[in-house]
Amino acid sequence: MMKKAAIKKAINYTIDLTKIDGDGAFPCPKCGIIISPDDETEEIYQIVETKVKNDELAELLLTCNKCGSTIKLEGFLTQPES
Ligand SMILES: [Zn+2]
């Protein structure tokens, strides 16, 4: 009997946001589509999971809708708003 695919996805790629210039947009490591954190349409990607540490966003897990890769974002900077 076939097991159903686990809901928890394996992480295919990890993106370190501290190494990305600009507004945080980056190309999908697999298919190259630009993933922008400001894009809230969920047409290009969907957020799977967010991890919060000390009330700050620490990690973001998202799925690329084009190629299906699961990408982990880390390195969110804790920049105090002035
Ligand atoms: Zn992709």
Taking phi over 0 as left and psi of -120 to 50 as alpha, with beta for the rest, 61 belongs to beta
Specify if 80 maps to a domain: no
CA distance linking residue 37 with residue 23, whole number of Å: 8
Q: Is the pLDDT of residue 25 over 70?
A: yes
Residue 12 CA, ligand 1 centroid: distance in Å: 10
Does 78 reside within a domain?
no
**Is 73 part of any domain?**
no
With a pLDDT cut of 70, the percent of the chain lying above it is: 82
Range of the domain at 22: 13-61
Domain presence at residue 46: yes
Say whether pLDDT at 6 is over 60: no
Please identify every residue whose CB atom is under 5 Å from ligand 1, which is an ion: 28, 30-31, 64, 66-67, 69
Asked if residue 76 belongs to a domain, the reply is no
What's phi and psi for 55, nearest 5 deg? 65, 10
Distance 68 CA to ligand 1 centre (A): 6
Is the predicted pLDDT of residue 28 greater than 90, yes or no?
A: yes
Q: Per-residue pLDDT averaged across 70-76, rounded?
A: 92
What is the model's pTM?
0.78
If you measure from the C-alpha of residue 70 to the centroid of ligand 1, how many angstroms do you get, rounded to a whole number?
Answer: 8
Q: What is the pLDDT of residue 37?
A: 79
Judge whether 22 lies within some domain. Answer: yes
Greatest extent of the chain over all pairs of C-alpha atoms, in Å: 58
**Number of domains forming the structure of the chain:** 1
